[in-house]
């Protein structure tokens, strides 16, 4: 099992349930590196099934079965853009909150997604966001600063200062562009 959308870009996976949010963000197509996994139901359904199986393994819970209809795709793409805004600048004010349940299991109270279909997935994404914020790992989920990339990566730098998903690829491109601009300005 793996996080399909994140693995296709060869990115380090975020820990715990935050990986679901990262994978959801990485469903977006990046240049020539793959299709938008939320563009059609035949792509979205397998992605969702694999992501929820991996999430369930991470959370030690049963795999939820959700059906995504063609009519859900636009709402999911809009939700993805809300998460982009949240990761970029902390603003997702236009989003309607999702329901979640408190579940007592083996003497431990857990926050757990609720609803069906797209609503369950939305609830899972917001639940994992809340848990990541509460545990302090949320600020490490970032979008690559290179305009043509914008992949979601988990920053493991010591001081949480990473801005590119990979310094050798996107960082090199950005630094080369900046160097050319400086040379151009001097001439």
The confidence score (pLDDT) of residue 27 equals 97
Per residue in 43-54, pLDDT (tens digit) is 999 999 999 999
Low-confidence ranges of the chain (pLDDT < 70): 1, 94, 167-168, 171-183
At residue 88, the 3 state secondary structure works out as: helix
Which residues are paired to 59 by β-bridges? none
Whether 18 contacts 137, CB under 8 Å: yes
Per residue in 76-106, pLDDT (tens digit) is 999 999 999 999 988 777 677 788 888 887 8
User: In this structure, how many other beta carbons lie within 10 angstroms of the beta carbon of residue 127?
Assistant: 23
The confidence score (pLDDT) of residue 183 equals 66
The confidence score (pLDDT) of residue 94 equals 65
The confidence score (pLDDT) of residue 180 equals 64
Whether 109 contacts 103, CB under 8 Å: yes
Looking only at the bridges linking them, the beta strands covering 108-113 and 141-143 are unpaired
Q: What are phi and psi of 102, to 5 degrees?
A: -90, 130
The candidate with the shortest Cα–Cα distance to 141, out of 124, 125, 129, 149, is 129
Indicate the pTM of the whole model. 0.88
């Amino acid at each position: 099992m793996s996080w399909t959308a994140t693995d296709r870009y060869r990115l380090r996976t975020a820990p715990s349930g935050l990986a679901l949010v990262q994978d959801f963000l990485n469903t977006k197509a990046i240049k020539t590196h793959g299709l938008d996994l939320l563009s059609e139901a035949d792509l979205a359904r397998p992605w969702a099934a694999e992501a929820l199986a991996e999430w369930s393994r991470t959370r030690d819970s049963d795999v939820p079965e959700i059906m995504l209809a063609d009519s859900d795709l636009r709402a999911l793409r809009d939700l993805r853009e809300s998460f982009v805004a949240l990761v970029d600048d902390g603003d997702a004010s236009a989003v309607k909150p999702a329901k979640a349940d408190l579940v007592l299991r083996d003497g431990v109270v857990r926050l757990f997604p609720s609803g069906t279909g797209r609503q369950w997935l939305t609830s899972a994404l917001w639940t994992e966001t809340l848990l990541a914020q509460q545990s302090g790992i949320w600020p490490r989920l970032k979008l690559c600063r290179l305009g043509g990339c914008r992949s979601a990566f988990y920053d493991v730098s010591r001081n949480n200062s990473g801005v590119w998903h990979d310094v050798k690829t996107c960082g090199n491109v950005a630094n080369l562009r900046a160097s050319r601009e400086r040379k151009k300005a001097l001439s």
